[in-house]
Amino acid sequence: MADNFKPPIKTRTTEELLNIVGSPKKWNRDALYLAKYELSNRNVDTSEIDKAIQLANKKEEEEILRKVNKSYQLSDFLLKPKKTLFELLFTWELKKDGYILKAKQQRTFRIKLIVVILFVYLIKFIQEN
């Protein structure tokens, strides 16, 4: 099998190879195979490979928990108002992407924002006439 990766799998450090083997969902099948083969050539103990897999699984679980518990904060509205408002009004994938709490907040905020926007628009329309 050709090693067409940049940098080539063979030239990567043992730690990088363990990261590849530990995160098979992030890498294609060929990279995974070449990393395992190279680790075997370097006589890396299987316990180290198992540790790398456990560490990657733990990081993935922590990332899932971080997403689930992520919520909108006042600082989001103060520091990034355009981005936050755009996300509230037009993003539909929050729950699918794992942001459960943000998705719940979005449902509430979206309705309130639309009502406020319509109210402001109505006030301006009335003032012009």
Segment 54-97, tens digit of pLDDT: 998 999 899 999 999 999 999 999 999 999 989 988 888 999 99
SS3 per-residue string spanning 32-55: HHHHHHHHHHCCCCHHHHHHHHHH
CA distance 61 to 41: 31
Binned at pLDDT 50, 70 and 90, residue 2 comes out as confident
What is the DSSP secondary structure assignment for residue 8, as one 8-state letter?
-
List the one residue out of 52, 51, 57, 19 whose CA is nearest residue 35: 19
**pTM for this one?**
0.60
Domain regions of the chain by residue span: 9-66, 70-128
CA distance 74 to 80: 10
